Amino acid sequence: NTPLIRVENLQKYFPVMQGILLQRQVAAIKAVDGVTFNIQRGETLSLVGESGCGKSTTGRMILQLSRPTGGTIYFENTDLTRLNEKELHPFRRRMQMIFQDPYSSLNPRMTVGKIISEPLIIHQLANAKIAQNRVKELLGLVGLNSDAINRYPHEFSGGQQQRIGIARALAMNPDFIVCDEPIAALDVSIQAQVINLMQNLQQNLGLTYLFIAHDLSVVRHISDRVAVMYLGKIVELSDRVSLYENPLHPYTQALLSAVPIPDPELEAKRQRILLTGEVPSPVNPPTGCRFCSRCPYVFEQCRVEEPLLKDIGSNHSVACHLI
């Protein structure tokens, strides 16, 4: 079974100048530093971590919106990192993105009909009449009335705007969608509706998702597997059940302990792991384990030796010297 997406040792380094005057030298921001995972067709892999950990950069690199500085990205059997812009063209149709802030991702001067049909027109896949019918079909798929076609983005609520963004992403019948915190900007009351819609669309259209989020509560129901990222690296990768029931990396445990429990009795009893210290800079990440400056269990080896992602069976890998 060839995975739809296979990412191997992916890297994104940005050069920066450091130091003063004569001691200035080039250093590298290691935004993504050796990330490996695959996504099976029809699967949802979630990428979770604090802002700046490299999760959006990873998603953008898979879509080739940002070119990696190292590593490979296979779409089925094609390494996208070796293709030029012309060769990428057919793949661009098959990969789309849903953005965090629906309003700013929609052109306020275009009607909803124009916004949704724009990709079809750009890729010359439809004339105006066929595009119009396709837009109506897409509006139906995302639960919007077809009279939306002649209205403008500001006339809609945040949740409806995100449905418009989803319809646009679906216009070209993609296989793969990067969902970059698609509900983070929405009212809590409508987050579940948008998640449900995305799950239904996935089932009906056979979509594959990379779902990016900064906390573990959001992705609980939508994920098949979850990868937890810290400072440019994956620290734990597991199927959903095993991750939520048996989180093994201290960072995952801390993230999970911050997820509120609805039952007040359980909430009062549970232990919180509070992380002290700031997220270190990705310019000079700590040597050894990158989490060592904040880990409650840090010991000597952690500061000198980098823990590698270790397969511990049952579809679960962890990078920690304690495991």
Q: Name the residues that contact ligand SF4, by CB under 6 A.
A: 250, 289, 291-292, 295, 297-298, 302, 307, 320-322
Residue 295 binds: one of ligand SF4, Mg ion, none (C-beta under 5 to 8 A by kind): ligand SF4
Residue 126 binds: one of ligand SF4, Mg ion, none (C-beta under 5 to 8 A by kind): none
* CB-nearer residue toward ligand SF4: 71 or 307: 307
Which pair of structure tokens corresponds to residue 61?
A: 């690199």
Which pair of structure tokens corresponds to residue 271?
A: 């232990």
Minimum gap (Å) between residue 56 Cβ and Mg ion: 3
Whole-number Å distance between alpha carbons of 59 and 54: 9
* CB-nearer residue toward ligand SF4: 277 or 313: 277
* CB-nearer residue toward ligand SF4: 183 or 279: 279
Minimum gap (Å) between residue 286 Cβ and ligand SF4: 9
Minimum gap (Å) between residue 307 Cβ and Mg ion: 25
Residue 247 binds: one of ligand SF4, Mg ion, none (C-beta under 5 to 8 A by kind): none
Minimum gap (Å) between residue 290 Cβ and ligand SF4: 8
Binding site for Mg ion (CB under 5 A): 56
* CB-nearer residue toward ligand SF4: 182 or 232: 232
Burial status of residue 236 (CB atoms within 10 A of its CB: 0-12, 13-18, 19 or more): buried
Q: Which amino acid is at 129?
A: K
The answer to whether 216 touches 48, Cβ cutoff 8 Å, is yes
Residue with tokens 């953005």: 99
Minimum gap (Å) between residue 45 Cβ and Mg ion: 16
- Residues pairing with 96 in the sheet: 177
Q: Which amino acid is at 90?
A: P
Minimum gap (Å) between residue 232 Cβ and ligand SF4: 14
Residue 56 binds: one of ligand SF4, Mg ion, none (C-beta under 5 to 8 A by kind): Mg ion
Which pair of structure tokens corresponds to residue 53?
A: 């950990």
Q: Residue 178: which of 204, 223, 212, 228 has the closest Cα?
A: 212
* CB-nearer residue toward Mg ion: 217 or 315: 217
Residue 322 binds: one of ligand SF4, Mg ion, none (C-beta under 5 to 8 A by kind): ligand SF4
Per DSSP, the chain holds a count of helices (H) and strands (E) of 10, 12
Q: Measured between alpha carbons, how far is residue 183 from residues 124, 255, 260 in Å?
A: 31, 19, 18
Minimum gap (Å) between residue 144 Cβ and Mg ion: 26
* CB-nearer residue toward Mg ion: 179 or 275: 179
Written as one string, the DSSP assignment of 229-262 is: EETTEEEEEEEHHHHHHS--SHHHHHHHHTSPPS
Residue 119, φ and ψ in degrees, nearest 5? -60, -35
* CB-nearer residue toward ligand SF4: 15 or 296: 296
Residue 231 binds: one of Mg ion, ligand SF4, none (C-beta under 5 to 8 A by kind): none
Residue 289 binds: one of Mg ion, ligand SF4, none (C-beta under 5 to 8 A by kind): ligand SF4
Element (H, E) at 317: strand 316-318
Size of the chain in residues: 323
